[in-house]
Amino acid sequence: MHGRPRLKASAPPDPERVKAAEKKAALFGQLAGEVLARSAAKRYDPESLALSAKLLELHPEMYTGWNYRRTALVPVLEAGGEAAVAAVAGELALTQRALLKNHKSYSTWHHRRWVVAKGFCSLEHELQLVNMLLDGDSRNFHGWGYRRFVVQLMGTPAERELEYAALKINHNFSNYSAWHSRTVLLPVLHGTPDSSAAQAAAELTATLRAAALSADPADVTGKDQPQASEQQKQHAGQQQPQQGAAGPTPALTAAAAASAGPHVSAAATAAVPKEALDEEYELVKQAFYTEPEDQSGWFYHRWLLGCSLAHWEQARGSEAEKREREALLAVLNREQQTCKEVLDMEPEAKWALLTLTRLREVQQQVLCESDTATAAEEASGLAAQVVEGYARLKELDPLRSGYYKDAEEGRAQVVARPMAASA
């Protein structure tokens, strides 16, 4: 059992307590049996539904119980009116109690989404509720997922969600969920120039096509469509999507395709302008200085580096290439400086050393493309430092020595696309 202390077989529990537990178990079994029997008999009277509510509050993961309630709800919600509003309020209260019992219950979260998607309730209230939940458990991925669902329905601009993610990060730099959220939102904010939903949807299709093309040129159907549009329609009469920089659902859904990483879609990550990236580098630097051993910020930093690289990769072969190359080298130098500062404070800071080593690796690759003698000399100096870096990492972090060995020997490309292979 997750997190429950073990009872020793050599010290068996008091027989009275065992008996009491068995009695409780039998009562629970009786209740479950009763609910399942009424469900099978298609009994949808208030007493039967109250019994199912009691069962689900005790045991929120019992999915058949939620199915039973939904079957009873369908005609009520279809009829609409006050009865529907009251029924939805009842389900929201019940799922809230169930989530208090188990805030990781997939079936309960799904029930709440199903109910909310039908309309008849305040989305503002849902947002407040999920804020409360994330205040208490800031890494709950069900909560973050539910938040995305609610803000999509509301048509909240990506900017506002970025502010929320920043708030969570400033509260605790170790919030990987919030850093993740930024990687989803930034390409949306900068990738969609117009707030019109139609344009955003068209761009989504284009992004997906591009992703599909780069992955599988033989099979492009382009039939991928944003899923939440149906739910959005149902809320349309109740809540006007806010006009904002990013637009509603499609823009936020497009983020998934855009955030697929530099390997899949350099175009999408290059959408984040260099000035915006600089702000992100600054934010994450604060995290490094505060908690250099926390991995969240360093993973985010790798993504930022991928975005910076994408600007240069996109410019290759064009007039802008030289300018982008210089800009990239400036970023690489600045970030190396940051890592060195962290290492000055803590010489055994593994994450700073790993990042420094990778930055040097990328710089070396960039310099290798130049044919001047000084660049070649600088590159060979960097190559030696990279080998040295990985050797030291193997000592500092022996659990992952297998990975460092492969990286040292050029068999693991985590930051840069293998340029040698494409050349």
Return the residues of window 64-83 that contact another protein according to CB under 8 A: 64, 66-67, 70
Report the sign of the C-alpha dihedral through residues 143, 146, 148, 154, in that order.
negative
Distances (CA, A) of 86 to 98, 233, 240, 257, 278: 18, 21, 23, 39, 50
Q: Taking the CA of residue 45 as centre, how many other CA atoms within 13 Å lie in the half-sphere pointing to its CB?
A: 5
In whole angstroms, the minimum distance from the beta carbon of 328 to another protein comes to 19
State yes or no: residue 17 binds another protein (CB under 8 A).
Answer: no
Rounded Cα–Cα distance for residues 309 and 331 (Å): 10
Rounded Cα–Cα distance for residues 198 and 264 (Å): 25
In whole angstroms, the minimum distance from the beta carbon of 6 to another protein comes to 5
Rounded Cα–Cα distance for residues 140 and 147 (Å): 11
Applying CB under 8 A, what is the total number of residues that bind another protein? Answer: 83
- Using DSSP, state whether 72 is helix, strand or coil: helix
One of 162, 197, 255, 305 touching another protein (CB under 8 A): 255
- H or E element that contains 91: helix 81-101
One of 96, 122, 128, 227 touching another protein (CB under 8 A): 227
Residues 334-373, mask of contacts with another protein (x by CB under 8 A): ----------------------------------------
State yes or no: residue 90 binds another protein (CB under 8 A).
Answer: no
One of 76, 212, 343, 383 touching another protein (CB under 8 A): 212
Rounded Cα–Cα distance for residues 89 and 3 (Å): 33
One of 95, 105, 108, 183 touching another protein (CB under 8 A): 183
Report the sign of the C-alpha dihedral through residues 70, 73, 79, 82, in that order.
negative
One of 38, 148, 235, 311 touching another protein (CB under 8 A): 148
E-state strands within 132-230: none
State yes or no: residue 378 binds another protein (CB under 8 A).
Answer: no
- Per DSSP, helices labelled H in 291-372 are 295-315, 321-345, 350-368
Our CB check for another protein shows the closer of 76 and 256 to be 256
Residues 293-332, mask of contacts with another protein (x by CB under 8 A): -xxx--xx-xx--x--------------------------
Rounded Cα–Cα distance for residues 335 and 400 (Å): 24
Site for another protein in 258-297 (CB under 8 A): 259-261, 263-264, 294-296
Our CB check for another protein shows the closer of 183 and 364 to be 183
One of 34, 57, 61, 378 touching another protein (CB under 8 A): 61
In whole angstroms, the minimum distance from the beta carbon of 361 to another protein comes to 13
Residue span binding another protein (CB under 8 A) among the ranges 62-70, 121-129, 270-278, 382-390: 62-70
Rounded Cα–Cα distance for residues 255 and 252 (Å): 5
One of 34, 36, 103, 160 touching another protein (CB under 8 A): 36
Residue span binding another protein (CB under 8 A) among the ranges 43-51, 163-171, 205-213, 308-316: 205-213
Site for another protein in 111-140 (CB under 8 A): 114, 139
Rounded Cα–Cα distance for residues 142 and 82 (Å): 30
- Contact partners, residue 396, CB within 8 Å, separation at least 6: 348, 350, 353
State yes or no: residue 419 binds another protein (CB under 8 A).
Answer: no
Residue span binding another protein (CB under 8 A) among the ranges 119-127, 252-260, 360-368, 386-394: 252-260
Please give the structure tokens belonging to residue 253. 């859904």
Rounded Cα–Cα distance for residues 281 and 70 (Å): 47
By the 8 A CB rule, do 342 and 288 touch? yes
Report DSSP state, residue 120. S
State yes or no: residue 252 binds another protein (CB under 8 A).
Answer: yes
Our CB check for another protein shows the closer of 70 and 321 to be 70
Our CB check for another protein shows the closer of 221 and 422 to be 221
